[in-house]
Amino acid sequence: MSRPEHIAPPELFYGETEAKKYTGNSRIAAIQAEMTLRAVELLNLEEDGPYYLLDIGCGSGLSGEILDEDGHIWAGMDIAPSMLDIAAEKDVEGDLFLQDIGQGMGFRPGTFDGAISVSVLQWLCNADKAENKPRYRLQQFFSTLFMSLQRGARAVFQFYPENDSQVDMIMGIAMKCGFTGGLVVDYPNSKKARKFYLCLFAGQTAPGQKQELPRGLDSIDQRNDSVAYTDARIQNQRRGKKTRKPVKDTASWILHKKELSRKRGKEGIPLDSKYTGRKRKPRF
């Protein structure tokens, strides 16, 4: 079976039809939920959140829904307009950006407390256009990502490497851009369940303290020892259960949106009052 990145560039491969098919597939949603939960676990965040996280290759917001459940604030970026259209239609909580990560990112230094990415990194290694040089695109991506993260923050990438040379290229360029860390492999002895996570550290949390690379999971049973990997959460994702959100345009929905905007540092947010969301009588 051909790898998707060998068929067409991501913005073309995930057109309107493929984007809807991908988002509506319950099996894909379940796998995406598991890998997102594992990526968040590898971020090793303290419990005094919420944190501001970057979802790289956010697609239609499947990973963002996991971040919502954990109470985090997030921003997502993707190169496929059709994917972002679906995310916007679902009214996801995160801010959405149409962006080719291979061209770098323009966020302010230290903007994010961490970053996750699911099934995206391998696309940067594909020279699908004459001007797309994998080494240059990886350099642009990792250098700007490093600047965008708080010192000591982590970036975790679940990806599907094509071969060992590809892994060496990705890790080598990431290290040249200032990151430390390495590769975490879950279920290395299972061809079907094996998952690769590139766990990168943007410096150290404190002078003289070295972050240790997490260990990969050796068996499915180990997953039950993880708070982020509870069976109930995964089953809820498979059944399509989500955190209940306020109905759009109601008072609670407006208050929720205003609170999110304040947490994101936006200015000019109107003060709350007893009139917020009040239905007005039609004017004749």
What is the 3-class SS of 202-264, one letter each residue? CCCCCCCCCCCCCCCCCCHHHHHHCHHHCHHHHHHHHCCCCCCCCCCCCHHHHHHHHHHHHHC
pLDDT for 245 equals 56
Query: Are 102 and 5 a contacting pair, CB within 8 Å?
Result: no
pLDDT for 220 equals 60
21, burial (CB in 10 Å: exposed 0-12, middle 13-18, buried 19+): exposed
pLDDT for 23 equals 93
Domain ranges of the chain: 4-243, 246-284
CA pair distance 278, 250, nearest whole angstrom: 8
pLDDT for 166 equals 95
pLDDT for 271 equals 80
- How is residue 30 written in tokens? 């379940």
- In the three-class reduction of DSSP (H, G, I as helix; E, B as strand; rest coil), residue 266 is classed as coil
∠ CA 146-83-120, rounded to 5°: 40
pLDDT, block means (10 residues), the chain with 284 residues? 84 93 93 95 89 96 92 95 95 93 94 96 83 90 97 96 95 97 95 94 82 87 47 46 57 72 70 74 63
CA pair distance 144, 101, nearest whole angstrom: 9
pLDDT for 48 equals 80
Topology given in CATH for the domain delimited by 4-243: Rossmann fold (3.40.50)
CA pair distance 198, 38, nearest whole angstrom: 12
112-118/149-159 β-pairing: parallel
- How is residue 156 written in tokens? 């975790």
pLDDT for 209 equals 77
Query: What number of H helices and E strands is found in the chain?
Result: 9, 7
pLDDT for 221 equals 59
Those residues with Cβ within 8 angstroms of residue 203's Cβ, 6 or more apart along the chain or in another chain: 151, 152, 178, 180
CA pair distance 43, 156, nearest whole angstrom: 7
Q: In terms of DSSP H, where are the helices of the chain?
A: 10-13, 16-24, 26-43, 62-69, 81-89, 134-148, 164-176, 231-238, 251-263
Single out the residue of 26, 90, 69, 96 nearest to residue 244, CA to CA. Answer: 69
H or E stretch including 162? none
Cα–Cα distances (Å) from 5 to 1, 2, 101, 180, in that order, read 12, 8, 15, 27
Query: Are 74 and 64 a contacting pair, CB within 8 Å?
Result: yes
pLDDT for 87 equals 95
